[in-house]
Homo-oligomer: A and B are copies of this chain.
Amino acid sequence: MSSDSSRRRWLKYSAAVGGLLTGCTPNTNQPPGQEEDVVNLLGRVVSKYGERSPDQKITRLPGTNKHLEASSSLTPLAQTMGIITPSALHFERHHAGIPTLQEAGYELLLHGLVAEPLTFTLNDLRSFPSASQINFVECSGNSGREWSAKVSADVQTGFGLASCSEWTGVKLSSLLQEAGLKPAGKWVIAEGADACRMHRSIPIDKALKDILVAYGQNGEALRPEQGYPLRLIVPGWEGNVCVKWLRQLKVTAEPLASREETSKYTDMMPNGKARQYTFDMEAKSVITAPSGGQRILKRGYVEITGLAWTGKGRIDAVEITTDSGKSWQRAKLQEPRLANAFTRFRFDWMWDGLATQIASRAVDETGYVQPSRDSLLAVRGANSHYHFNGIKVWQVGAEGSVTHVEA
């Protein structure tokens, strides 16, 4: 900030304002540019559905898959603010592209071990009691690169398969009650209407607890890439079970053991056995600023901020190190801290201008502490692709550069 030219600017500015409030003439042909030159011209009119400023360029980043239909796009978490992810920037993960669906004629089928198979239109679903909750969705493949020696260089690439929205819909338990769940029903197979019919098995306890059949996201209908018109929101569980374009729910006695539950979305342990049905996303955090690829402009005050989340409920604490792990101090947490939602943390740091390493670690309400990458690999080995939740370390250079730390 500067104070030297303030008085001069103010005088110029006062002169420009001139006939305050009398100079407004209806002229909508306002040329683009700074408003100092067009101070007396009216701006643009109201609109039906707003768009962001053309000045704003942050975007999702496409993943590296060969086919963009079976790919992902990553949320720019180093640029987003607060805890709500704009729907337009919510990460994507599709296995067969985004189907083109309309609400008219769309039906959800609920069958299997129920007293009466039912189909529901969107209007049917809206006639049930509704619920809204702010939840993160995280692909269990998020940060998958961190398992390897070639760790991610920035937040978007390494952590961008996670986002957080206010979701609205009907409790899955309400629909199961309506259909009449049979005692033998222990699993619910959810299937999407995409070309590959993405499907996953969900234990009945979770289905009866807190799962939403969601038709709303951040106040309006789901976006197409988020499953329009209908998806599951399974609080705290890996994103893959939050089946999009939800077309049918089948109650069964056993899980399906589908491709997405066997060859994919399982965790190969060092002994050659795989962890399966590992649904919970464990406590995790990342410093989003300053972070890889950014630059600290000057020594002195620097706000360290980032996001923490856990599928086990609430985040209880986030601890920050600014001295390469020698000491840890508590960050401030943005209130309210919500269960299975992003929690924004902030930490006031006085940077002395010397090279150092900074990192965050999350503690959830069960007392679980986010592990270091080394501890995680010691237990899980290096064969996993999913469920990485190790601490991410950023290297701060003496010149203010911020980079990743080679594994």
Contact = CB atoms under 8 A, between A and B. Distances in A.
Interface stretch (A18-26, A143-151, A270-278, A322-330): A18-26
Given A52-B220, A219-B82, A98 B44 contact: yes
A24 B196 contact: yes
Given A84-B218, A89-B50, A102-B55, A119 B2 contact: yes
B334 A132 contact: yes
Contacts of A223: 50-53
Contact of A3 (B33, B72, B118): B118
A135 to B, nearest CB: 12
A12 to B, nearest CB: 11
A221 B166 contact: no
A178 to B, nearest CB: 8
Contacts of A10: 109, 111, 117, 248
Copies in the complex: 2
A350 interface: no
Given A89-B219, A94-B43, A102-B34, A225 B195 contact: no
A81 B47 CA distance: 21
Nearest to A100: B32
A42 B24 contact: no
A257 interface: no
Interface stretch (A121-129, A361-369, A393-401): A121-129
Interface string A44-63: 11111111110110111111
Contacts of A168: 81-82
A80 interface: yes
Contact of A94 (B46, B96, B116, B221): B46
A385 interface: no
A228 B100 contact: no
A262 to B, nearest CB: 12
Given A17-B197, A47-B60, A101-B35, A83 B166 contact: yes
A111 to B, nearest CB: 6
Contacts of A266: none
A303 to B, nearest CB: 5
B338 A336 contact: yes
Given A55-B229, A56-B221, 17 more contacts: A1-B178, A3-B119, A6-B119, A13-B248, A24-B196, A30-B100, A35-B101, A40-B195, A43-B99, A43-B194, A44-B98, A49-B89, A50-B92, A55-B101, A55-B103, A81-B219, A89-B219
9 contacts: A6-B109, A10-B117, A33-B100, A43-B69, A47-B92, A52-B87, A83-B132, A89-B219, A129-B303
Interface of A: 1-3, 5-7, 9-10, 13, 17, 20-21, 23-24, 26, 28, 30, 32-35, 38-53, 55-56, 58-63, 67-73, 79-90, 92, 94, 96-107, 109, 111, 116-121, 124, 127-132, 166-168, 178, 193-197, 216, 218-221, 223-225, 228-229, 245, 248, 259, 297, 301-303, 305, 334, 336, 338, 344, 346, 348
